Structure 1
Amino acid sequence: MRSEIIVGAVAALVGGASAHGNITSPPARLPGPAMQAACGAQAISNVESDATIPLEDVFGTTAACQLDLCRGAKFEDNVDLVQSFTPGQVVRMQAIIPIPHEGPMNVSIVDTATNTVVGDPLIEFESYADESLAALPANNTNFSVTIPQLAAGQCTQAGDCVLQWFWFGTAAQQTYESCVDFVLE
C-alpha cells in the first residue's frame, strides 16, 4: 500500500512539474524527512515545488546536504523503493524531459558511502536532450542498461549503491540527477 502511495506521489510531482528532467521508472528517490534533516526546509521546498529541479536551483541547503549524490534525497526516505537486480539483467529506464538542454548524460552505478562511480557507465550520451531538434530521439526518454557482474558482496545491501542518472545541460549550465536504489542478487 505504501509503495502505491509513493508511486502516486511521484506521478503527482512529475505531472505538475514545470521542469527539466527526471527518471520515472524504475522509481527514483524522493525527498522526505531524512533529506529535510540533512538539507533543510528550504531545499525540500525547492524540490517539492519542482520535482525535476536542477541542482543549481536547490537553495538554502545546509553543509550536511549532499546535493551531488541523488540530489540530496536520502535512502532512509526511500526504503520501500529498493529494486532487486541480477548480473546481466537488462533494466528498462524511463525519463521525462519537458525542457531539454543539450549535454552529456550517463547512467552509472554509484557507491553511496564514497559517492564514487563503480566501473564504467552503463550507458552514456555525449549529446543528450538536444533542444535544437524538432523531437528528442526515443532513446533519450526510454533506454535500457545492463547490470554488470560486480565484486563479491558489492551492492548487496540496500542503501549501498544506486543507479544514478546524471545529465548536464552545457548551455544552460544545469545538472540533473535521479537515483534508483537497488540490491544485487
Structure 2
Amino acid sequence: MRASTFFSTALFTATALAHGNITSPPARQPGPAMQAACGAAAVSAILADGTGPLENILSNGSPDCNIFLCKGAQFADNQALVQTFTAGQVVPFKAQLPIPHEGPANVSIIDTASNTVVGLPLIEFDTYADEALAVLPPNNTAFSVKMPTNLAGSCEVAGECVLQWFWFGTSAQQTYENCVDFVMA
C-alpha cells in the first residue's frame, strides 16, 4: 500500500510540474558529467521534472555549466544518442506539452563551442503552445525540420552541433529547451 501511494504521489507530482520537452529524436539527458559540471541539484531538478523550465534548474555556478546550453546536459553523457543526418533530410520531431504556455518557439542548429545559432532557424513558431486554445494545433507536438544543404565542413564531429528546440512561454516567463546531438554525413 505504501509503495503504491508513493508512486501515485510521485506520478501526480511529475504530471503537475510538467511543461514540455522533445520525446523524439532522443534529446540530451543528465548524467555524471553534468553532475560534475553543474552539481547534483541541477541533475536532480531535471530527473524530477524533465519537462520543466530552465529557470527551475539550479547550477553550482561553475563556469563549466551553462544551463542555457542543452539544460546543462553534457555531450559526454550522451554519446550513444548521436544521430546521423544528411543534407536535405527531413527530421521528424515529437514534443510533449502537458502544460502549454503561449510564446515563440523554434528549432535551430547550435554550435556548442560558442552556443550560437548556425544559419537560420529550421522551423519557427510565432505562437506556440497557446494555453487559450481548447486543443493545440497538431504541428505543436509533431513537426519536421529539413536539414540544411550548406553545412559543408560543419557539424561533422559528434558534440560540435546540436539541434536545439527552444520555446519561451511569454506569460509564464519560462524557457524550455532540449538538444539533439547529431553529425552530418
Give the letter for the 1:108 counterpart: S
Cα distance, 1:62 vs structure 2 = 2.1
> Which residue of the partner structure matches residue 166 of structure 2?
166
Q: What aligned pairs does 1:119-130 form with structure 2 within 5 A after superposition?
A: 119-130=119-130
RMSD, aligned α-carbons: 1.2
Q: Deviations over 1:85-127 (max 9, x none)?
A: 0000000000000000000000000000110000000000010
Give the Cα separation in 1 of the matches to 2:59 and 2:105.
Answer: 26
1:3 is matched with none
1:143 aligns with 2:143: yes
Length-normalised TM-score, structure 2: 0.90
Moved over 6 A (4+): none
**Larger displacement relative to structure 2 (150-159 or 137-146):** 150-159
Residue 151 of structure 1 and its aligned partner are, at CA, apart by 3.6
Corresponding residue pairs, total: 171
Look up the match of 1:87: 87
**Is 1:27 matched with 2:32?**
no
Q: TM-score, normalised by structure 1?
A: 0.90
Q: Output the amino acid matched with 2:91.
A: V
Helix, strand or coil at the partner of 2:104: strand
- Cα distance, 1:60 vs structure 2: 4.1
Q: CA separation in 2, counterparts of 1:38 and 1:70?
A: 13
Identity, in percent, stands at 66
Which protein shows a greater Rg? Answer: 2
Instruction: For 2:164, give the aligned amino acid.
Output: Q
Match of 2:117 in 1: 117
- Find the counterpart in structure 2 of residue 41 from structure 1: 40
Unaligned runs of 5+ in 2: 1-10
1:161 partner amino acid:
C
Counterpart CA distance in 2 for 1:61 and 1:99 is 28
